[in-house]
Amino acid sequence: MTINADKIDRQAKRILRNNDRGGYTVPTSGLYPYQWNWDSAFTAWGLATFDIKRAWFEIHTLFTGQWDNGMVPHIIFHKRADGYFPGPDVWGVPRVPHTSGITQPPVAATMIRAIYEQDKRYGRVHMELVYGRLISWHRWFMANRVEDGMVAITHPWESGRDNAVDWDGGMGNVDGSGVGDYTRRDTAHVDPDMRPKKEDYDRYLTMVYYGRDCGWDEGQIREGSPFRVADVGMTFILLRACRDLLMIAHDLDHLTDEIEGWIRTLEAGVARHWNPDGFYDSIDLRSGDFSGSLSSASFLNWYAGIENDQMAIHLHDILDRVEFGVPSFDPRREGFEPLRYWRGPVWGMMNALIAIGLEEQGHVQIAAKLRKDTQRLIAEHGFFEYFSPVEGTPAGGGAFSWTAAIWLTWAG
Ligand code: 9YW
């Protein structure tokens, strides 16, 4: 198939424009009608390819949601929108703009650095404004979430990989039976077979109610929450983000000792994510058990600046079994579901992060393959939320912002 890149570029830009709600971009209309944290960071990177002013605006609106303690929430509910559950009333966070009570993977420093590098003259003042915001968010992570150098999540939604196999053990500790009645909205937009199951949702909500009952107090949640998992994806992403923040700090002439300390702590944490089966893995901090899940997040080690030969062997073996890049769960394992959300499908932005890391560490060919795979998926099927890594079948929401963004920045 010949790819008409200009035409697809125009489509990608149109998606980002259409998903603009006035200063912030929704992941896709209908299914996700608010500003999501890491989606917005990817989107800003995409916007920067054709409208740098709008890209910085996206970043500033994201930080309007930042809490006084530094946390940047996973959803910012700028204005009321229909069709999403759980909305602002369920989270019960007493601030404006309303937000959720949990965070999401901190890709922002990395995306912001890329935007800044593109036009430093224009970006300087924006970078100065945002720098302190990034520092306080990272400081919040280090103070509240880093345990033995690994980043703990208090809800699967924080990982951005909602129903990944990584959380099955930790979710087993959560009793969802008392959750009461509620109406899901996601399954009205997309095929329920491609979404998390009802038992998952019962537990997701139980944990939201738990956090709300704790007044979103980090100490109380750390003490009593049934779910606390060291997420290998979060650890790699935060480590990478700290490295980018360090480069920004040098550029802006800020002190760097604190960030250097964070990097050393997280590097030590990475080693603890290595499981006896020989791969990077998440750990249930309540039981101490590894999840045993080789997921796409396990392969973010290169993105975090960490070379590893055994991970390269796993990667080659997995890529030989599927057609389109790195699946969200190991296709050699029972339980691999090529169309169920984070239990098998391939996500364009994960391919991008993994490939960026691989290329930086000199694995140029394999990085190029991931890019080609992603390019084909988008060119042949459109800007879907995710795809089957086996057949390329598109799934989830369409006209998706981060898929458009990675086309413009990396895949196209
Ligand atoms: C949900 C918006 C978000 C992403 C997450 C993804 C999904 C929301 O959609 O979560 O309600 O399930 O898992 O990574 O940020 O695109």
Q: Which atom of ligand 1 is nearest to the CA of 37?
A: 15
Rounded to two decimals, the pTM is 0.98
- Quick one: tokens of 100? 């959720």
Q: State the Cα–Cα distance between residues 280 and 44, nearest whole angstrom.
A: 29
CB 294 within 8 A of CB 281: yes
Q: State the Cα–Cα distance between residues 107 and 144, nearest whole angstrom.
A: 18
Which CA distances in Å does 398 have to 30, 31, 202, 314, 317?
10, 10, 26, 31, 30
- For residue 1, pLDDT over 80 is answered with no
pLDDT per residue as tens digits for the range 317-376: 999 999 999 999 999 999 999 999 999 999 999 999 999 999 999 999 999 999 999 999
- Residue 44: how many CB atoms within 10 A of its CB? 28
Which CA distances in Å does 303 have to 8, 139, 186, 358?
27, 21, 31, 7
Q: Which atom of ligand 1 is nearest to the CA of 341?
A: 13
Q: Where are the domains of the chain?
A: 5-411
- Kindly indicate the confidence band of residue 82, based on its pLDDT and cuts at 50, 70 and 90: confident
Q: Cα 285 to the chain's mean position, in Å?
A: 21
User: Is there a catalytic annotation at residue 267?
Assistant: no
Q: State the Cα–Cα distance between residues 180 and 43, nearest whole angstrom.
A: 36
**CB-based contacts of 412, cutoff 8 Å, min separation 6:** 5, 8, 9, 12, 375, 378
User: What are the residues facing 32 on neighbouring strands?
Assistant: 28
CA dihedral 399, 31, 163, 347 (to 10 degrees): 10
Q: Which of 1, 38, 45, 40 is nearest to 19 (CA)?
A: 40
Q: Which atom of ligand 1 is nearest to the CA of 186?
A: 11
Classified by CATH at the fold level, domain 5-411 comes out as Glycosyltransferase (1.50.10)
Q: State the Cα–Cα distance between residues 326 and 345, nearest whole angstrom.
A: 9
- Kindly indicate the confidence band of residue 3, based on its pLDDT and cuts at 50, 70 and 90: confident
CA of 160 to the centre of ligand 1 (A): 6
Q: What's the DSSP call for residue 409?
A: I
Give ligand 1 pocket residues (Cβ under 6 A): 27, 32, 36, 38-39, 160, 162, 186
- Kindly indicate the confidence band of residue 195, based on its pLDDT and cuts at 50, 70 and 90: confident
Torsion over CA: 21, 397, 330, 281 (sign): positive
Q: 178 exposed, middle or buried (CB, 10 Å; 0-12, 13-18, 19+)? A: exposed
pLDDT per residue as tens digits for the range 229-285: 999 999 999 999 999 999 999 999 999 999 999 999 999 999 999 999 999 999 999
Q: State the Cα–Cα distance between residues 410 and 399, nearest whole angstrom.
A: 17
CA of 259 to the centre of ligand 1 (A): 29
pLDDT per residue as tens digits for the range 244-253: 999 999 999 9
Q: Which of 195, 250, 171, 168 is nearest to 85 (CA)?
A: 195
User: Which amino acid is present at 30?
Assistant: G
Q: Cα 121 to the chain's mean position, in Å?
A: 29
pLDDT value of position 194: 83
User: Is there a catalytic annotation at residue 257?
Assistant: no
